């Protein structure tokens, strides 16, 4: 699974991180910088200083998975740099990962249909 399934929590660390960090270093950042548990299945997205790279870290139930992406001719659209993280929904995450402006993506809020009597 590279793309998170529907309903999975996705957190973007808004401050750039040292991209030399691997699985353990990013897991430590999740705990120290974001005050989160890296072993819950939450997808954590990290940005580089140059804004053209991202790393994804998540626990799949048997190990930590890390993915890395570099855009060749542009940069990712990132949230404003501040402490902490922000949540993205799956559609916003997919737009970010594709190099699109995730801020323009809105998920449809489907209401549960009423049962006809």
Reduced to 3 states (helix: H, G, I; strand: E, B; else coil), residue 92 is helix
**Band of residue 6 on the pLDDT scale cut at 50, 70, 90:** low
Residue ranges covered by each domain of the chain: 10-103
**Band of residue 3 on the pLDDT scale cut at 50, 70, 90:** low
Residue 4: pLDDT over 70: no
10 Å CB burial of residue 30 (0-12, 13-18, 19+) is buried
Q: Where are the alpha helices (DSSP H) in the chain?
A: 23-33, 90-97
CA neighbor of 15 nearest in space, from 68, 82, 60: 82
What is the reported pLDDT for 108?
A: 66
Which residue shows structure tokens 């993506």?
105
pTM: 0.84
User: Is the Cβ–Cβ distance between 67 and 59 less than 8 Å?
Assistant: no
User: Is the Cβ–Cβ distance between 26 and 32 less than 8 Å?
Assistant: no
What is the reported pLDDT for 25?
A: 96
Q: What is the pLDDT of residues 32-69, one digit of tens each?
A: 999 999 999 999 999 999 999 999 999 999 999 999 99
User: Residues 76-104: what's their mean pLDDT?
Assistant: 87
Residue 53 is encoded by which pair of tokens?
């790279």
Average pLDDT, the chain: 88
What is the reported pLDDT for 107?
A: 67
């Amino acid at each position: 699974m590279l793309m998170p399934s529907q309903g999975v929590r996705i957190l973007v660390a808004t401050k750039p991180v040292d991209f030399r960090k691997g699985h353990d270093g990013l897991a430590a950042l999740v705990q120290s910088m974001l005050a989160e548990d890296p072993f819950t299945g939450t997808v954590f997205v990290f940005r580089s200083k140059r804004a053209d790279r991202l790393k994804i870290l998540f626990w799949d139930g048997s190990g930590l998975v890390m993915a890395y992406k570099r855009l060749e001719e542009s940069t990712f659209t990132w949230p404003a740099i501040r402490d902490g993280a922000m949540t993205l929904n799956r559609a916003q995450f997919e737009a970010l990962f594709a190099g699109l402006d995730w801020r323009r993506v809105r998920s449809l809020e489907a209401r549960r249909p009423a049962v006809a009597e």
